Structure 1
Amino acid sequence: MPDDLYQRYQAAHRAHRAHATTCSRCTDTIRCPDGERLFEAFTRLQDAYLARQRRQQRP
């Protein structure tokens, strides 16, 4: 069964990148409100996924 958290994390990344490529107001450091919302969702899910990976790798 695919990892739901990983899939959500990757989907959030795709959504953020798709927005960033079409939005004339977003840059790598400055984002429009929609871009900021998408970036926040991506980073929150990425942090959760990586934290879980670190917990699972501990002996």
Structure 2
Amino acid sequence: IDQNKDRMLEILEGKGLSFLFPLMKLEKELLKQIKADPAPQTIYKWIKDNISPKLHTDKGF
């Protein structure tokens, strides 16, 4: 996630508006998970546990 997106998300979260860009928040959380444990099985489990199945077919996701 680039610095502009990261800063924008910080501002939105600070104002309680991160719901306006849910995929941006998911991207940040997923990158954090990948850095913590990049094993494919762990990432797959994190996605299954934390992301709505409806998003799995969303082209934006």
Structure exhibiting the larger radius of gyration computed from Cα positions: 1
Specify which structure has the bigger relative contact order, considering alpha-carbon pairs within 8 angstroms and separated by 6 or more residues: 1
Whether these two folds match at TM > 0.5 is no
- What is the TM-score normalised by the length of structure 1? 0.42
